[in-house]
Structures are given as C-alpha cells and as structure tokens.
C-alpha cells in the first residue's frame, strides 16, 4: 500500500539556519502531497501542498517540490525562526484509491535562539 | 476563519467503558474523517464519512467503533468497549469535497486505564 517515510528527528537548529526535512513516498497512483505542522498543544495545520509532479507548494517561507522521479517532497526553509519549532508531518492522498491521508511519522523541529 | 472543533480535549476512562468523542466540522464541508495517533506512532486513518454513511474505513475501524452525524453540526466517534490500546490522540477532520484539503481539529487525548 501507499506509504510515507520521513527523516527521523528531532532536528535542532539555530535561528536563521537553513532547514531541510526529507520526505519520500511510495504510491501506486498519482497522489497529492502535503506537509502538515503541529504546534505544541494544537491540531494539525496544513502548511503546503502539491497536486502533481513538478508543482511547488509554498507558505510562510516554507517550500517543497513534488519530484516524481525521486518520489520525494522535501520541506525546506531558508531561515528558520524559534516560532517554527513544531512537529512536521509529510502526507499523501490518492483520490483514485480513496480519500484518506497517509502520514509519515513526523519530524520534531527545535529552533534555538 | 472557520475551524474544526473537538470535545473534550482530554478523556480518561476505565477499560470496558464506552466513550463518545465529539467533533464539529467546518459548516459547509461534506466529508468528515477520524484519525488517531498512538503516542510515538504515526497518525493513522480510521474512517471517512459522507452523506450519512461510511465511505471508507481502515482495518483498525472494527466493530468496536462507530460514527454518527446525529444532527446538522456534530460528528461523533463512539468506542463501545474501550481497551488499553485505544489510548491515543483522536483527530477529526473535514473537507469541502472529495479530494479537497482536509482541515483538522485540535484532537482529543483518550486515556484508557
């Protein structure tokens, strides 16, 4: 079945450092790809998404490009802030095979000032 | 901005008891979902619901579980006879249409003693 693999955390960075969180997927169809973020004590919030190959999703300085050839959707940000400290989840959905989201394990990001 | 709400935020129950977790999806959304996250594990899909019936369910969603939309606003998850392994964070989500972005609530932490 479909699956998502994320790099393990926690990832600890200093403020203004460059962030990459790796995400790769396995899917039988043509999935949409998502990054969700969970701030402490809150629910899952959509950060960005891409629905087809070579699409780039972006939001709040974060971006990720849907790479079909490498089945990847890595999350990047050029300069992280303390307020970016959260858990980041990569996920996919393939409407051809149902509407559910399949999540990766989540990556904890800690940003130090 | 419209949001998904969930009550209670934390529920403690004894093994074998019934629990009902409540969700109020975004008002114009047509698809509703439940997911759960056991501590330290991935967020897992449980069930999706459309037009007053289950549209998809996972292997986890066995006869112990049921969902209902008792009125025009609430969406509930019932666990008939809780087990220790049902302890998890339960997330409700909704989307406007099939394949659209899913918006999540803050979750209910269920602790089974």
Over its length of 113 residues, how does chain A's per-residue pLDDT go in tens digits?
A: 889 999 888 999 999 999 999 999 999 888 999 999 999 878 899 999 999 999 999 999 999 999 999 999 999 999 999 999 999 999 999 877 788 999 999 999 999 99
- Would you call B48 and A99 a contact, using CB atoms and an 8 Å cutoff? yes
Q: Is B86 helix (H, G, I), strand (E, B) or coil?
A: helix
Q: Quote the pLDDT of residue A97.
A: 75
Residues from chain B contacting residue A106 (CB–CB below 8 Å):
42-43
Residue range B85-108: mean pLDDT, rounded: 94
| Closest Cα in chain A to B50 | A99
Residue range B60-71: mean pLDDT, rounded: 94
As given in the structure block, the two tokens for residue A97 are 């095979």
CA–CA dist A17, B47 (Å, integer) = 39
| Closest Cα in chain B to A40 | B106
- pLDDT confidence tier of residue B41, bands split at 50, 70 and 90: confident
Residues from chain B contacting residue A9 (CB–CB below 8 Å):
none
Closest CA to A112 of A89, A83, A87, A78: A83
| Closest Cα in chain B to A96 | B99
Number of H helices, E strands in chain B: 0, 11
B42 closest CB neighbour out of A41, A42, A105: A105
Closest CA to A79 of A60, A66, A65: A60
Cα-Cα-Cα-Cα dihedral sign, residues A83, A85, A87, A92:
positive
As given in the structure block, the two tokens for residue A59 are 């939001």
- Would you call A99 and B4 a contact, using CB atoms and an 8 Å cutoff? no
């Amino acid at each position: 079945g479909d699956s998502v693999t994320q790099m393990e955390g926690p990832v600890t960075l200093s403020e203004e450092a460059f962030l990459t969180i790796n995400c790769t997927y396995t899917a039988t169809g043509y999935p949409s790809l998502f990054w969700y973020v969970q701030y402490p004590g809150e629910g899952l919030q959509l950060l960005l998404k891409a629905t087809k190959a070579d699409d780039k999703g972006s939001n709040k300085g974060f971006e990720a490009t849907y790479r079909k050839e490498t089945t990847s959707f890595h999350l990047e940000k050029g300069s992280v802030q303390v307020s970016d400290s959260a858990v980041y989840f990569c996920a996919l959905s393939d409407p051809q095979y149902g509407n559910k989201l399949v999540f990766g394990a989540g990556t904890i990001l800690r940003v130090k000032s | 901005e419209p949001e998904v709400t969930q009550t209670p935020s934390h529920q403690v129950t004894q093994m074998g008891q019934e629990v009902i977790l409540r969700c109020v999806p975004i008002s114009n959304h047509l698809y509703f979902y439940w997911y759960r996250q056991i501590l330290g594990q991935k967020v897992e899909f449980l069930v999706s619901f459309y037009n007053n019936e289950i549209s998809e369910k996972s292997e986890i969603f066995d006869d112990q579980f049921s969902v209902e939309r008792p009125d025009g606003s609430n969406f509930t998850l019932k666990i008939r006879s809780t087990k220790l392994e049902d302890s998890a964070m339960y997330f409700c989500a909704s989307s406007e249409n099939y394949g659209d972005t899913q918006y999540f609530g803050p979750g209910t932490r269920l602790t089974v003693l």
